[in-house]
Amino acid sequence: MEVKKQLTASSYVISGITYKITPFAAMNAVAVMGTLTALLVPVLQIAVPAVKGVMDKKGTLDVDAVEKNITLDNLGDAIRGLSGDQMVRLFNDLLLKYGNVIFLDKEKGNELTQLDIDTFNELFCQNLGAAVNLCIKVISLNYSNFFDGFGIQFGDLMQAVKVKTRSPVMASLT
């Protein structure tokens, strides 16, 4: 019998800890998408205008030009509407609620341990950036092919959005 996708874990090392992430079940991914969408809309409200007019004649996107179109005021507007409760829900949905993240617990002889609220609080105390990186890994694992089907509906439009350059600032955000 073939191993189910939902049971196939991907390993990632973040801040010296090995995490194993399994994909969400499809309906759980839909539920989490709602939480993600609520947080992404303000970001898209600054990203879409920043992209306007910075595509060259070949149809490639100049990331450096996009970066120059984003100001601190834009970023402030994007995050102003985000609440702590929304962020807690996102982290909970991505990392805890669906039991999709385990880690190698060095204190227990590299035993695989389910990430729960207590271990989350301990592992990411004074290291919230690592929690953000783990969230990004979960998002990437579950939604990286989300836009694949859009090429059919929108023809060459999706091909037009190619990254021309990557600045160190933008690279650090990914």
At 129-172, the pLDDT tens digits run: 999 999 999 999 998 887 666 555 444 444 544 444 344 444 44
pTM (predicted TM-score) = 0.69
Say how far apart CA 75 and CA 127 lie, in whole Å. Answer: 22
What pLDDT score does 118 carry?
Answer: 96
Confidence of residue 16 (pLDDT cuts 50, 70, 90): very high
What pLDDT score does 168 carry?
Answer: 47
